[in-house]
Amino acid sequence: MDRKTKIFIFLFLLPAVVGLGLYAYYFSGWNLSISMTNARSLIFPAEFIGLGNYERFLGDSVFITVVKNTAIFTVLFMGGTLLLGLLLAILIDQGIKGEGLYKVIILIPMAMPMVISGVLWSWMFSPRMGVINSLLRVLHLDFLTQPWITSTSQALLCVIIAYIWVFTGFVALLYLANIRSLPNEQSESARVDGASKFQLYWRVIIPQLRPATVMAFAVLFLNSLVAFDLVWTLTMGGPAGSSELLGTLMYKQTFQWNYFGYGAAIAQIMFIISMVVMVPYLYRSIRRR
């Protein structure tokens, strides 16, 4: 490579390196150092307390709640979205009229800003005036009406339903693209061999959907890890912490109660989980090219 080329490569990479170096790497390092202090203010100096915040978090009563909520949320949201998305993709793959329009319809929830999805679903789930309970009353199913987001036992479920609503169409399109990329001869050959539709999907097609599953898994996992916008507008983590997740807890601790060091420690835990899961994914997907 000649000198001129080297200079231009340097110049072309400079903005990205400076921008991410500062905003992604320098700041996450800074966050790590804040997480080891007892900072409660932006101005006054703080004491170094080592892993004190992490210890405090592990011993905090809210820790158990958050871990439990996160586990339920991640499993039900991801499982539900993947299954419904796969089912929807297979149904669309049957060759339906108006496929183009249908794809647009199922992608609308993904296009909605998360904040607005949160507002919409708080309208859906509002116990007194809310749309779902109104619908149930109109259908004379009054006994099925629920307290929804006002109940400590149902709030997390409401968040999960809203999240499934957001991502199902997107996952369905991922799966559909994967199904359509498989050679047609496979399904034709399976048909000639006498396989039923069910056998065709179960034995031939679904085993080959690993790429879409991995991709969907990555997207859904990252979104459930950093979940904030929708949860915040829908339940604010409540009532009584019943839908508290890492994202909402971190926000409350840091920006509402000014436990900066403690909030930074929670954020740091999110950072570590994200890296542990996403680095192998990224490494794999880049190396495969």
Partner 1 sequence: MSKVTLNGLTKRFGKVEAVKNVTLKIRDGEFVALLGPSGCGKTTILRCIAGLEKPDEGDIYIGDKMVTRLSPPDRNVSMVFQSYALYPHMTAFDNIAFPLWIRKRPRDEIREKVKKTAEILEISEFLNRKPGELSGGQCQRVALGRAIIRNPAVFLLDEPLANLDAKLRISARGELKRLQKQLGATMIFVTHDQVEAMTMAERIAVMNNGVIEQFGSTDEIYQQPANMFVSGFIGTPAMNLIKCSLVERGGSISLILDTNTLPVPDSIGRALIEKIKSSDMVFGIRPEDISIHEKNKPNSYKTKVYVVEPLGNEKLVTVEMGNTYSKVRTRLDFKQEIGENAWVDFDWNRAYFFDKRTGKVIMHGLNKSANRR
Partner 2 sequence: MVIIRRFILYFILIIFALFMLFPIYSMVTTAFKTMPEIVGSRLTPPTQLYLGAFKEAFDSIGRPLLNSVIITVPSALIGTFLGSITGYVFSKFRFWGSDALFILIVLGMYIPAQAVLLPVVKFSANVGIFNTYLGLILPMIAFSIPSATLFFRNFYMNVPTEMIESARVDGCGIPGIYRRIILPLSGITFAVSVMINFTWIWNSFLWGLVLTQGPAVQPVMVAVNNLHGTYVAMWNVQMAGSLMAALPMVVIYAYFGKYITRGVLAQRK
Residue with tokens 């490579």, as numbered in its chain: 1
Residue nearer to partner 1 on the CB measure, 5 or 153: 5
Residue nearer to partner 1 on the CB measure, 5 or 184: 5
Question: Segment 130-159, which members bind partner 2 (CB under 8 A)?
Answer: 130-131, 134-135, 138
Q: Does 44 bind partner 2 (CB under 8 A)?
A: no
The two structure tokens encoding residue 29: 């390092």
Question: Segment 216-245, which members bind partner 1 (CB under 8 A)?
Answer: none
Question: Segment 103-122, which members bind partner 2 (CB under 8 A)?
Answer: 103-109, 111-122
Q: Does 61 bind partner 2 (CB under 8 A)?
A: no
Q: Does 185 bind partner 1 (CB under 8 A)?
A: no
Residue nearer to partner 2 on the CB measure, 242 or 251: 251
Q: Does 6 bind partner 1 (CB under 8 A)?
A: no
Among 149, 163, 232, 235, binds partner 2 (CB under 8 A): 232
Rounded distance between C-alpha atoms, residue 260 and residue 44, angstroms: 12
Stretch of residues binding partner 2 (CB under 8 A), selected from 48-56, 61-69, 144-152, 251-259: 251-259
Among 173, 179, 205, 220, binds partner 2 (CB under 8 A): 173
Rounded distance between C-alpha atoms, residue 93 and residue 87, angstroms: 10
For residue 189, give every residue at least 6 positions away whose Cβ sits within 8 Å of its Cβ, in sequence order, or none. Answer: none
Q: Which amino acid, one-letter code, is at 199? A: Q
Q: Does 9 bind partner 1 (CB under 8 A)?
A: no
Residue nearer to partner 1 on the CB measure, 2 or 185: 2
Residue nearer to partner 1 on the CB measure, 9 or 107: 9
Closest by CA to 60, choosing from 241, 268, 260, 218, is 241
Q: Does 94 bind partner 2 (CB under 8 A)?
A: yes
Residue 274: contacted member of partner 1, partner 2, none (CB under 5 to 8 Å, by partner type): partner 2
- CB-CB contact of 78 with 221 (8 Å): yes
Q: Does 4 bind partner 1 (CB under 8 A)?
A: yes
Name the residues that contact partner 1, by CB under 8 A: 2, 4-5
